[in-house]
Structure 1
Amino acid sequence: MAPDAGLDAEAAATHGQFVSVTGSHSAKRDDCANNPDTRHVFRFRIDPTTGKVLREPSNDPNGALMGYSHTQRLWPLMASFPAFRR
């Protein structure tokens, strides 16, 4: 993601001990330009009892998220479901 792009998060869901957050799938609002910088899906672990984010063991309370994964393939993921195909 470009440093100044911003996520423009559109959805978040929990599933067991993971949270998934998706960015926007749409074009830019002002000029309808392609906007691939917002088409992300992030996944990370949470404590299912407290709902708090889990971090990798370190001395840094803002350290790396446990179980973190990321993809910029939001459109291909959406297209894999018949209801979202154009």
Structure 2
Amino acid sequence: MLFSDRKRVVIEVDGKHHYSVGTTASPRLYSEMAAEDRRLKLAGYHVFRFGGYELSQPGAASMLAGFFDEIYSRMS
């Protein structure tokens, strides 16, 4: 997302394939994800991550609406 005053936002939705191989957690995949977060932040992006599980829970739509309201008010 790009805001008028050049603030840049990245929204990530992570499923288990972002941090595991099959059903086993992968320190390598997690480290790659963390390194990419750092790279984006150093490039001037605000990075926000959501877990896929989080978005499948009751109330997720309301939580997302609140998040987008808040991000818009802070970045605009």
TM-score, normalization by structure 1: 0.23
Report which of the two structures shows the higher radius of gyration computed on alpha carbons: 1
TM-score, normalization by structure 2: 0.24
Of structures 1 and 2, the one with the larger relative CO (CA 8 A, separation 6+) is 2
